[in-house]
Chains A and B, each alone.
Chain A
Amino acid sequence: MDFATFLWTTFGVFVTLSIFSFLYKDNPFYKFAEHLVVGVSAGYFVIILWHNGLKPNLFARLADGDWFFLWLNSTQPWYLIPAILGALMWTRFSKDYSWVSRYPMAMYIGIATGIAIPLEMANRINKQLYATMQLIQVDTTDLYGYIFGYGGFNLIDISTGISKAIIFVGVMTGLVYFFFSKAHTGWFGRMAKVGIWTLMIGFGASFGFTVMARISLFIQRIQDVDHWGNLAWNVNNDISDYHIGYLLVFWLMMALVFGYILKEIVQHVKSKKAKIQTP
């Protein structure tokens, strides 16, 4: 492993610790890491948009035309139309001509809506409606057969049927809860209450998954820091030439982070003491 790889890995760990330091409170290390992420992401996006979007999809297609003829002699001159529409978007920065940007915007939204509405309707509404209103297929002959001794009993069939019934009841009561044109009293109110419980169970499931996701992010950071620690302490004995350099970087980083923590603790204790002394 070369020194540069170790240095970048070390920097990664430093940025990780800087981000996590926000759990204690806002601080310059966190701000630095935050700004770095935002800056790098924005810069990266601009470059990737140019190389993967504008360059191959627009300029490469007009490239066989002469720039001095404004690419009108290109074999695909119609690509100038989206180019002009795109350029018109920039008029938003002018007070006098910002109205011009409404034309490309209207075209963009029109096309997007035209594509989206039929597909969204079919796939997110119709298919979900069919799935909710599926026939509850519980083969009761199995149950009778089990009781009277002439057939099999399939618990899975029954649980699937019960699941479908629960989904149907949950959806209907959930809709009742969001129906505000009628007061939530009597049987209607009781249905709305079941709806609230259904929603709460749904939110609970989402919360559980979210917790898992957050912990997962932390675990990955632990794994990375552990990997870096192995490198720093030369556990795999793969460092030969720059061993002193590695350890120097390691201890510098440690001194920086722990020095800051120490400073924070001292400040905290001082402020506590000051509070006690002031009546």
Chain B
Amino acid sequence: MDVFEKLMKLDRRWVFLFLIVVCVASYYIDYKVPILPEDESRKVYDFIDSLPPGEIVFIAIDYDPNSMAELHPMTYAIVEHCWRKDLKIIFTALSQQGPGMADQVIRDLSDSMVLDRSYHSVEYKGREIVNGVDYAFLGYKPYYALVILGMGQDFRLPFPADYYGTAIDSLPMMQGVINYDQVACVLSLSSGTISDAWISYGQGRFGFPLFFGLTGVMTAQYYPFYGSGQVRGMMGGMLGAAQYESYADNPGRAMEAMKVQLPAHLVIILFIIMGNIGFFASRSKRKRGEVS
């Protein structure tokens, strides 16, 4: 058996083992990977950064724990950016386990927002984040398409009370906020078909500026909507999260992860090349009749 046949018959477990070793080793080696900006993720940051204090951003936490690796860092970076800029946030969760994700982000960032921080050499004084003043967390409701349509009429239709059971009308920041007309944009961090519903039943029906944070698996299929302008900007996978962290000058888990992504991708590319060399070499051998 020559080297090409060995390549073709390589046990997949060796690939896994090699990848694990590379990932773990690169995680513990201290080096930095430059994060290159991309137009689609830059637009998300620029839009939020351009909003004046007091504006409301609608953030839909439409993912479950199985995709928190990619979407959770995005949520942390965006929510912190919004709060440092004194923007208000309406949170919803249209996936079953989304409320837990949103709750964790709110609690963690409420704690860290008390501290003073500098981003891009601008100092932001720490402050207390108050429920109902800085944010409203509406919670989860099943059948996302109907919820999206319902919120277009009035947030109170699907969510008469918020996640904590308080009537929406008694939240100070929700006074006079009826539907999407009062929010600057909708940002859906999604790991499933909920993004389709935001395009068709949300943006298409009500015309608000729509931005996406998507898992890597989904990203490629949403480029046509970005190209057509239906989606104004989007962040794809952990790279998108790292890009947002980089724009916001707020390094987090995603930027840290990039130093593992790079060698891991190189390893996979290497294995693909090796597999292809093995395939073409053994095919040409078969054609020549050297192998039966």
Contacts and interface: CB of A to CB of B under 8 A. Distances in A.
Contacts of B220: 202, 205-206, 208-209
A219 interface: yes
A213 B27 contact: no
Interface string B261-276: 1001100100000000
Contact of B96 (A23, A45, A115, A220): A45
> What secondary structure prevails in chain B residues at the interface with A?
helix
A52 B100 CA distance: 14
B228 A216 contact: no
A217 B69 contact: yes
A5 interface: no
Given A123-B200, A131-B224, A220 B253 contact: yes
A41 B64 CA distance: 10
B109 interface: no
Contacts of B145: 112, 115-116
B250 to A, nearest CB: 17
Contact of A213 (B20, B96, B216, B221): B216
B23 interface: yes
B172 interface: no
Interface residues of A, number: 44
B174 interface: no
A124 B200 contact: yes
Interface string B233-275: 0001111000000000000010011001100110010000000
A127 interface: yes
B45 to A, nearest CB: 20
B229 interface: yes
B236 A209 contact: yes
Could you tell me the dominant secondary structure of chain A's interface residues? helix
B200 A219 contact: no
B265 A211 contact: yes
Contacts of A202: 220
A45 B20 CA distance: 33
Contacts of B140: 48, 52
Interface of B: 13, 16, 20, 23-24, 27, 68-70, 96-97, 99, 139-142, 145-146, 149, 160-161, 196, 199-201, 203-205, 215-221, 224-225, 227-230, 236-239, 253, 256-257, 260-261, 264-265, 268
Given A127-B228, A131-B229, A212-B237, A222 B260 contact: yes
Interface string A96-122: 000000000000000010011001101
Nearest to B27: A222
A187 interface: no
Interface in A12-63: 23-24, 41, 44-45, 48-49, 52-53, 56-57
A219 B23 contact: yes
Contact of B68 (A44, A123, A220): A220
A211 B268 contact: yes
A251 interface: no
Contacts of A69: none
Given A123-B199, A123-B204, A131-B224, A216 B229 contact: no
B227 A167 contact: yes
Of A44, A53, A209, A216, chain B has the most CB atoms within 10 Å of the CB of A216
A141 interface: no
Nearest to A211: B268
A71 B222 CA distance: 47
A131 B224 CA distance: 8
